[in-house]
Amino acid sequence: MTTMSGSDGASAGGSGGRGWFTPASDAAPAERPAPDAPDTAATPQGTTTVAPEPEPVPEAEPHPAPPQAAAAPTPSAAPESRASAAPTDQLADSELIRTSMAELERSSEAATAYFYALLFVQYPHLREMFPAAMDNQRDRLFRALLTAVRLYDDGKILTEYLGNLGRGHRKYGTQPTHYPAVGECLMAAIARYTPQSWGPRTEAAWVRAYTAISQTMIDAAAEDEKRAPAWWDAEIVSHELRTPEIAVITVRPDKPYPFRAGQYTSLETPWWPRVWRHYSFASAPRPDGLLTFHVKSVPAGWVSSALVQRARPGDVLRLGPPAGSMIVDHRADSGLLCLGGGTGIAPIKALVEDVAGQGRPRPVEVFYGARTDHDLYDLDTMLRLQERHPWLSVRPVVAAGRARAAAEALAGELPDAVRRYGPWSAYDGYLSGPPGMIRTGVETLVGCGIPTHRIRHDSLDELVGQGA
Ligand SMILES: NC(=O)C1=CN([C@@H]2O[C@H](COP(=O)(O)OP(=O)(O)OC[C@H]3O[C@@H](n4cnc5c(N)ncnc54)[C@H](O)[C@@H]3O)[C@@H](O)[C@H]2O)C=CC1
């Protein structure tokens, strides 16, 4: 598999044949599917990172000033433009790309809007692969780029991130032949919005990086194609409204769906084609193969609202591959300290079931937080698990007031409640919930003596994009 340092793509220009960004000839055959935007990054040991994925949100399609005919970058006046595209090592590339990215960040919105406008003007047939509304999509592309640049010098993690991305993109129907088009428009957008840093060396560094990125994604998708479908259709077999905003939805996939407790998937509804959202599996793998999700409808959340208010048994959803590395290492004996906020309790419940299924008891301490006790929609389930398993402790934590249903609930924000117990230094941390909770939760656990490499959670980027 190609890594960032492996390719020597100079700026050759042109998007056809073996020009810019064309995958290596001995790599993936042309008909292999590949990706179009970001999906998942998982750090092997520590923090789980769920990366951006093209998951647009509805809305009219806004566009920036229409791009000119050709996507030629405009490198001329840049400070480093007099330098030749001489051989550069990866370190130099990463310097150039970071500088360029820092400048790009200042105009990220305009640059991504320009990129998509250019892509759809130059390659109109690609438009149908994207959802009608492009808002969130634009944001996700940029976040993916940022993630790749951030991981640029860490070959192993970058390869893992891109591999997940490539596999995740199979469901969009992306082909290897799409990469040159995307690369060409991306370079044009970067060139246009980084006048200070753009020049031949930076351009060559970006071309090398993009070529390597594409190749890694294409290879991963091709490899994945040998063993897994691009997507699964899954019929809803039960739909239970736990509160007016929260539904517990169980589906039956049309083919076996292998995954690990703590992971998540991407999900598309029939009502919003090509709009995908992430949801965690709320149970460990079951013998009957059914999968359960907890969905909270959020304001202006078209997908979540459809899933909660409109979906019914018999409706068919589409699932992407499993992703995420918030999984339990069953070779270890350490205890699990789990923080589940709101519907973030879903993967925590799966983790508890996973530990139970191993038949090797180890301490599991769950803090289940909600705004009000009314929002503790899955407390009964968690308390039943606690009754069944002596190694499990479940503590509800209610931020606002005290609940009748959970008279024993602790008061306050979830991380504060955790701090009152412990010691936790011998535990591994698992966090799932809203981004603010994850941030303060990680700080709290580190403050309690749990090193970051023993703390796992889904990525904040992904969670931010999820609420729709
Ligand atoms: N449905 C699913 O499968 C999954 C959902 N999630 C995420 O979980 C979140 C659930 O949202 P809601 O149920 O509306 O949760 P919520 O906003 O009602 O909050 C749940 C808990 O988090 C605490 N919290 C919130 N912000 C905090 C902050 N800044 N500092 C400390 N504590 C804070 C609250 O006090 C409460 O205890 C969403 O962001 C969703 O993306 C995460 C993983 C899986």
CA–CA dist 86, 11 (Å, integer): 11
Q: How does 41-67 read in b/e, with b if 16+ C-beta sit within 10 Å?
A: bbbeebbbbbbbbbbbbbeebeebeeb
Residue identifier of the C-alpha nearest atom 21 of ligand 1: 341
Q: Which residue has the higher pLDDT, 18 or 277?
A: 277
- Strand 41-42 and strand 48-49: pairing? antiparallel
pLDDT digits (tens, 9 = 90+) for 129-167: 888 888 777 778 778 888 888 888 888 889 988 998 999
Task: Judge if the beta carbon of residue 378 lies within 6 A of ligand 1.
Answer: no
- The Å distance, Cα 189 to ligand 1 centre, comes to 36
pLDDT at position 422 is: 86
Task: Judge if the beta carbon of residue 243 lies within 6 A of ligand 1.
Answer: no
Task: Judge if the beta carbon of residue 397 lies within 6 A of ligand 1.
Answer: yes
Q: 0.90 cut: is pTM over it? A: no
Q: Which of 280, 343, 397, 463 to mutate to test the pocket of ligand 1 (most atoms within 8 A of CB)?
A: 343
Q: How far is CA 355 from the centre of its chain?
A: 25
Residue ranges and CATH numbers for the domains of the chain are 41-225 (1.10.490.10), 232-319 (2.40.30.10), 335-464 (3.40.50.80)
Task: Judge if the beta carbon of residue 296 lies within 6 A of ligand 1.
Answer: yes
Residue identifier of the C-alpha nearest atom 15 of ligand 1: 342
Q: Which of 281, 414, 430, 442 to mutate to test the pocket of ligand 1 (most atoms within 8 A of CB)?
A: 414
pLDDT at position 90 is: 66
- The two tokens of residue 379 are 């407390």
Task: Judge if the beta carbon of residue 178 lies within 6 A of ligand 1.
Answer: no
pLDDT digits (tens, 9 = 90+) for 238-259: 999 999 999 999 999 999 999 9
- Pair 185, 119: CB distance under 8 Å: yes
- Pair 129, 172: CB distance under 8 Å: yes
pLDDT at position 293 is: 98
Task: Judge if the beta carbon of residue 353 lies within 6 A of ligand 1.
Answer: no
CA–CA dist 362, 427 (Å, integer): 10
Atom of ligand 1 nearest to the CA of 416: 31
CA distances from 53 to 40, 47, 275, 376, 465 (A): 7, 18, 10, 29, 9
- Pair 52, 171: CB distance under 8 Å: no
- The Å distance, Cα 340 to ligand 1 centre, comes to 8
CA–CA dist 225, 171 (Å, integer): 11
- The Å distance, Cα 345 to ligand 1 centre, comes to 9
Task: Say which residues have a Cβ less than 8 Å from residue 182's Cβ, sequence separation at least 6.
Answer: 21, 36, 119, 214
Residue identifier of the C-alpha nearest atom 41 of ligand 1: 463
Residue 266's SS3 state is strand
pLDDT digits (tens, 9 = 90+) for 346-373: 999 999 999 999 988 899 999 999 999 8
Question: Mean pLDDT score of the chain, rounded to an integer?
Answer: 81
Taking the alpha carbons at both ends of the chain, their separation in whole angstroms is 35
Helix extents (H) in 169-300: 178-193, 200-225
CA–CA dist 52, 149 (Å, integer): 13
- The Å distance, Cα 459 to ligand 1 centre, comes to 13
CA–CA dist 251, 389 (Å, integer): 27
Q: Which of 55, 325, 413, 439 to mutate to test the pocket of ligand 1 (most atoms within 8 A of CB)?
A: 413
Task: Judge if the beta carbon of residue 219 lies within 6 A of ligand 1.
Answer: no
Task: Judge if the beta carbon of residue 458 lies within 6 A of ligand 1.
Answer: yes
Residue 42's SS3 state is strand
Task: Judge if the beta carbon of residue 350 lies within 6 A of ligand 1.
Answer: no
Q: Which residue has the higher pLDDT, 313 or 13?
A: 313
pLDDT at position 59 is: 31
Task: Judge if the beta carbon of residue 440 lies within 6 A of ligand 1.
Answer: yes
Task: Judge if the beta carbon of residue 429 lies within 6 A of ligand 1.
Answer: no
Task: Say which residues have a Cβ less than 8 Å from residue 178's Cβ, sequence separation at least 6.
Answer: 34, 36, 126
Residue type, 230: A
- The two tokens of residue 164 are 């997940």
> How do the residues of the chain divide into helix, strand and coil, expressed in percent and rounded to 5?
40, 15, 45
- The two tokens of residue 301 are 């959340």
- Average pLDDT of 118-137? 88
pLDDT at position 401 is: 64
CA–CA dist 30, 299 (Å, integer): 42
- The Å distance, Cα 449 to ligand 1 centre, comes to 23
ipTM of the shown complex: 0.97
- Pair 64, 143: CB distance under 8 Å: no
- The Å distance, Cα 356 to ligand 1 centre, comes to 25
CA distances from 33 to 217, 221, 229 (A): 10, 7, 11
CA–CA dist 129, 174 (Å, integer): 8
- Pair 397, 405: CB distance under 8 Å: no
Task: Judge if the beta carbon of residue 463 lies within 6 A of ligand 1.
Answer: yes
- The two tokens of residue 337 are 């300290």
Nearest residue to 223 (alpha-carbon basis) of 92, 27, 87? 27
Q: Give the total residue count for the chain.
A: 468
Residue 300's SS3 state is coil
